[in-house]
Structure 1
């Protein structure tokens, strides 16, 4: 890519897409193209093909997806498999048909096997059963990874796939019905603090471990990979460290300033016991995360406080 390259960011208003836009602008990429979901429904093939025909992007960051936490994945499995299959199929195929030079597809480490050896290496994909609470999302994302691989093999495209670990940061989704664990904890503790609630409920035992990557770091990583890496091999993106949910809850509690108690509801699902990624390939490609978890949490909570009235904070 160069400063004049036409770059399409699919999902530019989300956690990942907005971070990619900020990173590209900081690095003086000025020819960016994007559409809201109201302007372009990526689930509709005709609209997607028309967009690629009209705009002719040279590079594509595929950050658009239907995502959510345990509750929404368990409640709406059909929505997750249908919408993600349609979105990624339309964009990947249109990128091929309209001569895109390079596309970066965003997978997720939650699509690795539930009981994968730790840390999870890229080659562990499809070596075991999936976590049942997000199986349908995972199957869709695996299909996207394999679609990029297949188009590279058959058509000689340059479509790369990355596997980010759990993400958080600016523009996260704080809706308690469909958010991930970290933004949900921030909102729960904040509201409990404001309402002087004596107890905050956290799902599960608190024992599972998760790895968390600040969204601005992810954006820096994917732009770096778009600039430097080509191939069909998956690339994990993470920090190489994880934390138990119980410790995470205590850390968020402290940053928010909540003084009540935490109740771990063990009748609720834990999800996978651990999800730490092996990041040797990423380091060899010249990139490492820069933002410590505590610093990232403080920045995210500051953003949350400044955007309390925004639509994505409403239940």
Structure 2
């Protein structure tokens, strides 16, 4: 057993080395932008081509070289229902290897403060709404993304085990559905909101008479702009120290039909909307209880309508080189 490290809430040292794993992705890039804006001057990041986090030896060598004091583990293999349902082995294997390598190397090289990022899909499919942190492992997972969820649950357990065995004040946060600049807009790999943005924007540009969406449109989802998520991450690193994961969201949700209507309005599409009910809906509702986060002194500031507008503007400005 290692000696317990006492965490004193307060500002992190802006001059200390801070590694953002996954800094090129949706979440990691937002965290990087926020940390830069907050005055962190020694940020470290490596793209997947520069450092394969699935390669254990390379990860340990990277930590030995850079010796970060703080780490946010935002690197992950992610995707929507279609991708998760089609490639469960990839989502399980890749994420487990990334997490184990980074967390083990961070412990080996004395990382003082670490935040592991998971996903709200870790919770049971039919968990009581809104979903509280203690709902973890109390029921069956949504089958379409259970492999990814199990990997993320393993990450939470790894952080908790590190706290128990080594006394390190590491923490975990579970964001709701995220969106914003840097998202994946590909037809095969995207989540629902960027998929809708691409679909409706293309339909508006092409004058398409109708757009067909998966499912019934009745499931309800909560959406958090990734810049809000980034702000919440720094807030938790400076103010929270507990073994239980913290839900990060807005505390409000909308139906997929309502979301589609918002997106269509923002991009200027006024054609027919068709719902293909032969396709799966996924979990009927997924709304997080964010009382723990609120009690710590943080709440989201970007509304869904404003966030969608910002995301559409970014998508159109970067259409030539976004992930597609």
Q: How many Å apart are 1:250 and its aligned residue?
A: 0.7
Tell me which of 39, 46, 53 is aligned to 2:50.
39
Residue-pair matches, total? 313
Q: How many Å apart are 1:155 and its aligned residue?
A: 1.1
Q: Name the SS of the counterpart of 1:116 in structure 2.
A: coil
Tell me which of 124, 127, 131 is aligned to 2:138.
127
Q: Does 1:156 align with 2:199?
A: no
Q: Structure 2: how far apart are the matches of 1:3 and 1:70?
A: 38
* Aligned residue number for residue 56 of structure 1: 67
Q: Structure 1: how far apart are the matches of 2:266 and 2:205?
A: 14
Q: How many Å apart are 1:311 and its aligned residue?
A: 4.2
Q: Does 1:218 align with 2:229?
A: yes
Q: Does 1:260 align with 2:238?
A: no
Contact 2:130 2:286 in 1 (8 A): yes
Residues 210-231 of structure 1: CA deviation (Å, up to 9, x unaligned): 0000000000000111111112
How well do the aligned residues superpose, as a CA RMSD in angstroms?
A: 0.6
Q: Structure 1: how far apart are the matches of 2:136 and 2:273?
A: 35
Moved over 3 A (4+): none
Q: Structure 1: how far apart are the matches of 2:117 and 2:245?
A: 10
Q: Where do residues 1-315 of structure 1 align in structure 2 (5 Å cutoff)?
A: 1-312=12-323, 314=324
Q: How many Å apart are 1:310 and its aligned residue?
A: 0.7
Q: Structure 2: how far apart are the matches of 1:311 and 1:223?
A: 27
Q: How many Å apart are 1:55 and its aligned residue?
A: 0.3
Residues 213-267 of structure 1: CA deviation (Å, up to 9, x unaligned): 0000000000111111112111100000000000100110000001111111000
* Aligned residue number for residue 7 of structure 2: none
Unaligned runs of 5+ in 1: none
Q: Structure 2: how far apart are the matches of 1:46 and 1:283?
A: 40
Contact 2:215 2:277 in 1 (8 A): yes
Unaligned runs of 5+ in 2: 1-11
Contact 2:185 2:322 in 1 (8 A): no
Q: Structure 2: how far apart are the matches of 1:3 and 1:103?
A: 15
TM-score by length of 1: 0.99
Q: Structure 1: how far apart are the matches of 2:139 and 2:51?
A: 36
Q: Name the SS of the counterpart of 1:19 in structure 2.
A: helix
Q: Structure 2: how far apart are the matches of 1:266 and 1:236?
A: 31
Q: Structure 2: how far apart are the matches of 1:195 and 1:11?
A: 35
Q: How many Å apart are 1:2 and its aligned residue?
A: 1.2
Q: Structure 1: how far apart are the matches of 2:239 and 2:111?
A: 17
- After superposing the two structures, state which structure 1 stretch, 152-161 or 183-192, moved more: 152-161
Q: Structure 2: how far apart are the matches of 1:216 and 1:158?
A: 25
Residues 21-79 of structure 1: CA deviation (Å, up to 9, x unaligned): 11111111111001010010000100000000000000000000000000000111000
Q: Structure 1: how far apart are the matches of 2:141 and 2:244?
A: 20
Q: Structure 1: how far apart are the matches of 2:159 and 2:38?
A: 27
Closer, same or farther: CA 171–311 of 1 in aligned 2, 3 Å: closer
Q: Structure 2: how far apart are the matches of 1:218 and 1:290?
A: 10
Q: Structure 1: how far apart are the matches of 2:318 and 2:220?
A: 29
Q: Structure 2: how far apart are the matches of 1:28 and 1:129?
A: 43
Q: How many Å apart are 1:128 and its aligned residue?
A: 0.2
Q: Name the SS of the counterpart of 1:205 in structure 2.
A: coil
TM-score by length of 2: 0.96
